[in-house]
Structure 1
Amino acid sequence: MAVDVVTETVIARPLTEVAGYARDPSNAPTWYANITSVRWRTEPPLAVGSKLDFVAHFLGRTLRYTYEVVELSPGRLVMRTAQGPFPMETSYTWQAVDADHTRMTLRNRGEPGGFARMGAGVMAAAMRRANTRDLAALKQLLEAAAAA
């Protein structure tokens, strides 16, 4: 069973600000509750081909994985990992709602293998909850910074 989780929010900040902050992997631990660290394998700045090591805690497990950036444009970022029991693609898209509001969409999809395949439904539900919380944290962070 494939996992394909899409979540989105509207953030009261311009597209360039939202995308600029969210696409910087070094910021991920500040708004993703489950990501504890990010280490650049390639030199910044982010570009197609960049590789990053992530450490996360999810469903009671510590996960270590390497993402490779496969697409990067002003309105989109796509990263993929192939190793481990659950190869994953994560994509971000940003669309201007108006000059001061941005719709951000976060999508995680993959095909769990082995034992992970049996828990794909539970994994998708947990991912949806986590992504919803993470986008809410990003929204709060960026909107509060603007108000300060």
Structure 2
Amino acid sequence: MNVDVEFHAVIEFAVDEVASCAGDPTKAPEWYANIHSVKWRTTPLVKFGSQMDFEAVFLDRRLSYTYEVVDFEPPCRLPCAPRTNHPPWRPPTPGSRLTAAPA
């Protein structure tokens, strides 16, 4: 079964503030309820080529997957494989729009 999920949110904070949380994979369990842990495969620094393992539960199934940073334009763009076509964050005024969608 394939499941495609797309998420949009307007967050009432500046781009730099949103990026400091959402752009740090280590903080994913704080804002994404399904993600239980993140472990770095590389040095824990977000840059091109960084890799991290995610452990999550979705629809009562345990998921383990690895993301790799495939582009990095702080603070507005952090696409990770296998989702390589994330649009950049384009903040409305006021706030920041965060999009997470499948490629």
Would the alpha carbon gap of residues 4 and 71 (structure 1) be closer, same or farther in structure 2, given more than 3 Å must change?
farther
SS at match of 1:72: coil
The answer on whether the counterparts of 1:7 and 1:105 sit within 8 Å (CA) in structure 2 is yes
- Alignment of 1:102 onto 2:96: yes
Which digits, 9 at most, give the CA deviation of each residue in 1:53-99, with x for residues without a partner? 1111112211111111101112111111xxxxxxx42647322223x
Aligned residue number for residue 18 of structure 1: 18
Name which one, 1 or 2, has greater alpha-carbon Rg.
1
TM-score computed with the length of structure 2 as normaliser: 0.84
Structure 2 stretches of 5 or more lacking a match? Answer: none
Greater strand proportion: 1
Would the alpha carbon gap of residues 104 and 23 (structure 1) be closer, same or farther in structure 2, given more than 3 Å must change?
same
Indicate the RMSD between aligned Cα atoms, in angstroms: 2.1
Aligned residue number for residue 41 of structure 2: 41
Q: Which amino acid aligns with 1:73?
A: E
The answer on whether the counterparts of 1:92 and 1:104 sit within 8 Å (CA) in structure 2 is no
Aligned residue number for residue 138 of structure 1: none
State the aligned residue count: 101
SS at match of 1:62: strand
Distance across 2 between alignment mates of 1:49 and 1:2: 27
Which digits, 9 at most, give the CA deviation of each residue in 1:87-117, with x for residues without a partner? x42647322223x4111111124xxxxxxxx
Segments ≥4 residues shifted beyond 6 Å: none
The answer on whether the counterparts of 1:77 and 1:92 sit within 8 Å (CA) in structure 2 is no
TM-score computed with the length of structure 1 as normaliser: 0.61
> How far did 1:34 drift?
0.8
- Alignment of 1:79 onto 2:74: no
